[in-house]
Amino acid sequence: MKLSRIALAVALAPSLSCAHAASTTETLKLTETLISANREAQPRSASSAANTVFNRQDIERLQPSSVADLLQRVPGVQIARSGGPGSTVSLFMRGTKSAQSLVLVDGQRISSASAGGSPLEYLSIEQIERVEVLRGSRSAVYGSDAIGGVVHIITRRGTDQPLTPRLRIGYGTHNTWERSLGLSGGDQHTRFSLQASADDTRGINRSYANSAPDNDRDAYRNNAFSANLNHRFSEQLEAGFSVLDQRGESEYDMDWGGQYPYFDYQVSSYSGFLSAQINALWKSRLELGHSENRPTVRYDDAKDSSPFNTYRDSAAWLNTLELGNGHSLIVGADGYEETLHSNINYTEDSRWNHGLILQHNYRGERFSSELGLRHDKNAQFGSSNTFSGAVTYALNADNDLILSYAEGFRAPTFNDLYWPGGGNPTLQPESSKSYELQWRSQLAATTRLETSLYRTDLRNAIAGWPAQNIDKARINGFEASLQQELLGWQAALGLSLIDPRDRETGKTLDRRARRTLSLDLDRSFGALSIGAGWQAVSSSYDDLANNRELSGYGLLNLRSAWQASDEVQLGFKLDNVLNKQYSRAQYEGWPATYYTYRETGRTALMSVTWTPSL
């Protein structure tokens, strides 16, 4: 059955969709609310998932250069880039690889159907209202890819204030320009946001190569637009629509053709929802969406191009039933169809996946539980079931223990299955089992500690060339996050210790550091605010054989902002203050030579933000 038929049937159903008590826009402004864990709004403290939330205020305070820079502050999350702004980003959550973590933009998958990863490097931080990170498998809720966790990126939202324009201009090292323009506003019923940005940089030489064509600077350009409209028809009915479009160019090194290559890219997401409070016991929500991930390899001195374009349509119908006495039930169905357009001759280039979701939640005074079951039917792999369960015990008002178990899976990509000469159409989905113990404690009025001890077992991991279901992996890990306020300073500390091993060889999984630490300190002095961030990453290996070691490193960043008037704010940041030279990835060149990518050294950026009153 085609997804479009399912979407039409759902859209015509008389009992469409649902709403939260507060408007969706209001919910997105709150740091202590979580939306992604069960696909409905709930207090962060009520979720069994280890989670981190950044809202727009956090983003403006931390002044990250990119989504990747923001995510590096999350315990258990590691980022490996292949050289400077706009370079390919690999996301490692709890020791899993990029294709084993799900990335959403306004609820839409943006991953590549060919390679499997998601283009985090192309997402402008200026277009983002909120980022939610769920650590640990959520396949029982989202299906394929959510083995390591879920990153949900939500675009800018309006407020119930009068029209608010916003203009920001920044200039920095390597001839870097950041420009954005926005307009938002609304009232109690209707809210909207329009945002546009244009960023570009001359860039750095992403590799240590000293001969043409790889000894040049690799520039990056990103043009982005986002729009959001929400309307609340009544206390029981709400609808909304969001769009994000990002496109530009990203140059890179180490092309085998001896030419000057670059990616011409476009990442788009379109989503809409209709939600309704059917009655006192039943909430329902309909979501429809479309996303496009369109990278094309081009050359300055050649007409050849290689597109790998992913098109994906999706629909979801989610229902929450309040059963009384602390019991609730989530019942839903979702599905997507994805198509790959490329000049590579794939045997198959489209497929669909349909899922049914059932989850029971109980919340008592001292004891809470969560049981979830998802059934998926895939056009290529048939049916599969995924289970999750968690119990929470409140030791007292300030301390909770959470014990959980979760299963996960990932369907092979089109490259895994059908790449000429390297694909294997007999591959089976990867699967996982995860066990986790969490302790959450409000140690004092100004001190919050959250810790996690977990183990993940992976089976049928896809590796080799041609691809095979041969690998087994075991990942043991510990995470801790501490929020502390002391003498006016706000401190956030994140620690992660992992032991990710291939169970067949005993080797450490590639590009995964065993130890990471991040620390942010911020304080305001009236109109002036200052802050510092420190990140430490231990050594890792670039290959599965553990022959090529990548050295560990530490980075120090400084930031400040001055509210010069009600309408004007000046910002300044200095990244990699100590000018640390480091690398997170290497590249196998031709013939059989390994090149090391370099990351950006010390950089500075000054900005001015103008929000005039109308």
Higher-scoring residue by pLDDT: 260, 93 = 93
Chain Cα centroid distance, residue 223: 20
Kindly state the DSSP code that residue 138 receives in the 8-state scheme.
-
* Percent over 70 (pLDDT), the chain: 92
φ/ψ bin of 95: left (φ > 0), alpha (ψ from -120 to 50), beta (otherwise): left
Q: How confident is the model at residue 196 (pLDDT cuts 50, 70, 90)?
A: very high
Q: What is the pLDDT of residue 71?
A: 96
- Identify any residues that bridge with 89 across adjacent strands, giving them in sequence order: 81
Domain extent listing, the chain: 3-610
Task: Report the half-sphere exposure of 233 (CA within 13 A, side-chain side).
Answer: 11
Question: Whole-angstrom Cα distance, residue 196 to residue 193?
Answer: 10
**DSSP string for residues in 34-57:** E-TTTTS-EEGGG-SSEEEEEEHH
Q: What is the mean pLDDT of residues 209-236?
A: 90
Q: What is the pLDDT of residue 4?
A: 41
Q: What is the pLDDT of residue 29?
A: 58
Question: Whole-angstrom Cα distance, residue 537 to residue 513?
Answer: 7
Residue 14 has pLDDT above 60, yes or no: no
Q: What is the pLDDT of residue 214?
A: 77
Question: Whole-angstrom Cα distance, residue 528 to residue 575?
Answer: 19
Q: What is the pLDDT of residue 588?
A: 62
Q: What is the pLDDT of residue 594?
A: 60
Amino acid type, 291: S
**DSSP string for residues in 569-592:** EEEEEEESTT-----S-EEE-TTS
End-to-end CA distance of the chain: 52
Query: What is this structure's pTM?
Result: 0.92
Residue 450 has pLDDT above 50, yes or no: yes
Question: Whole-angstrom Cα distance, residue 314 to residue 141?
Answer: 15
CATH class of 3-610: mainly beta
Q: What is the pLDDT of residue 593?
A: 55
Contacts of 204 (CB under 8 A, 6+ apart): 83, 84, 174, 217, 218, 598, 600, 601
How confident is the prediction for the chain on average, in pLDDT?
90
Lowest mean pLDDT among 183-192, 330-339, 458-467, 504-513: 458-467
Q: What is the pLDDT of residue 303?
A: 66
Residue 475 has pLDDT above 90, yes or no: yes
Question: What sign has the CA pseudo-torsion 296, 297, 299, 302?
Answer: negative
